[in-house]
């Protein structure tokens, strides 16, 4: 077996857990894995960015109509150069097999949550362009159940300025399915927090009472 990122050969270490418990195999070598920088130390209690207290962005959000929507948030990795390269290859070059790269970490982190996992959806046009949903595929690779309760009403936030993102309106619509009380929103990348908060607001309107979030990457 070869590393999905650099094509070096991976050592094959079969174990009884892999054979009988269907554990998730590692598909990236230690050298490539070491390039991803994990977030550690004190973090903002709402968004998970490294900070001793509430960060400036969350202080702003808590003065708006989105105040109190999020119980907490967590991200695993910084958006450094190796992570940017990974995300570009996965999302934009449509290398769908890279959904497996962080499968083990996602499973270990999220498999015991009591909340219903809700991935951030893609706009239908964007879905046709990329041919797959990157968040859904990562959750499936991690052997995690999830459910959709939202549809995307605007194509992208990627080309907007920070101010334009924060002032965006109605990014999501409820799809009409009965919404569980406790939800864990999941996305690949947290930037300004606009996407997560818009999704949380729509889910609160639909009946959710406790919403937290998890993202793989924090910019």
Report d(CA 149, CA 147) in Å as an integer: 7
- Output the pTM of the full model: 0.90
Same domain, 16 and 114: no
Please count the structural domains in the chain: 2
Each residue's pLDDT tens digit, 138-189? 999 999 999 999 999 865 555 556 555 565 677 999 999 999 999 999 999 9
Same domain, 130 and 48: yes
Same domain, 13 and 112: no
Same domain, 28 and 134: no
Question: Is residue 154 classed exposed, middle or buried when 0-12, 13-18 and 19+ CB atoms within 10 A define those classes?
Answer: middle
Residues contacting residue 210 through CB under 8 Å, at least 6 positions apart: 71, 115, 181, 182, 183
What mean pLDDT, rounded, does the chain reach? 90
Q: How many CA atoms lie within 13 A of 146 on its CB side?
A: 26
Structure tokens that stand for 47 in this block? 């968004």
The boundaries of the domain holding residue 71 are 38-218
Running DSSP on this structure, what letter comes out for residue 195?
H
Per-residue pLDDT of the chain (219 residues; tens, 9 = 90+): 899 999 999 886 655 555 544 578 889 999 999 999 999 999 999 999 999 999 999 999 999 999 999 999 999 999 999 999 999 999 999 999 999 999 999 999 999 999 999 999 998 888 888 889 999 999 999 999 999 999 998 655 555 565 555 656 779 999 999 999 999 999 999 999 999 999 999 999 999 999 999 999 999
Same domain, 121 and 190: yes
Same domain, 9 and 56: no
> In this structure, how many other beta carbons lie within 10 angstroms of the beta carbon of residue 209?
12
Same domain, 42 and 114: yes
Same domain, 26 and 89: no
Same domain, 70 and 131: yes
Same domain, 82 and 49: yes
Same domain, 100 and 14: no
């Amino acid at each position: 077996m070869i590393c999905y990122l650099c094509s070096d050969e991976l050592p094959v270490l079969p174990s009884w857990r892999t054979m009988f418990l269907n554990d998730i195999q590692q598909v990236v070598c230690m050298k490539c894995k070491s390039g991803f920088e994990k977030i550690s130390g004190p973090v903002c209690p709402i968004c998970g960015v490294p900070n001793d207290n509430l960060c400036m962005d969350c202080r702003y959000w808590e003065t708006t109509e989105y105040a109190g929507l999020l119980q907490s948030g967590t991200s695993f990795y910084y958006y450094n150069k190796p992570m940017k390269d990974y995300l570009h290859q996965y999302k934009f070059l449509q290398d769908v097999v890279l959904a497996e790269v962080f499968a083990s970490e996602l499973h270990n982190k999220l498999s015991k949550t009591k909340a219903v996992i809700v991935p951030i959806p893609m706009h239908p046009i964007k879905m046709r362009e990329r041919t797959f949903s990157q968040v859904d595929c990562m959750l499936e690779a991690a052997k995690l159940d999830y459910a959709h309760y939202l549809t995307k009403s605007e194509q992208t936030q990627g080309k907007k300025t920070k101010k334009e993102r924060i002032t965006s309106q109605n990014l999501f619509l409820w799809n009409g399915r009965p919404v569980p009380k406790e939800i864990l929103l999941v996305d690949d990348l947290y930037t300004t927090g606009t996407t997560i908060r818009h999704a949380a607001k729509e889910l609160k309107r639909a009946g959710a009472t406790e919403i937290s979030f998890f993202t793989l990457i924090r910019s």
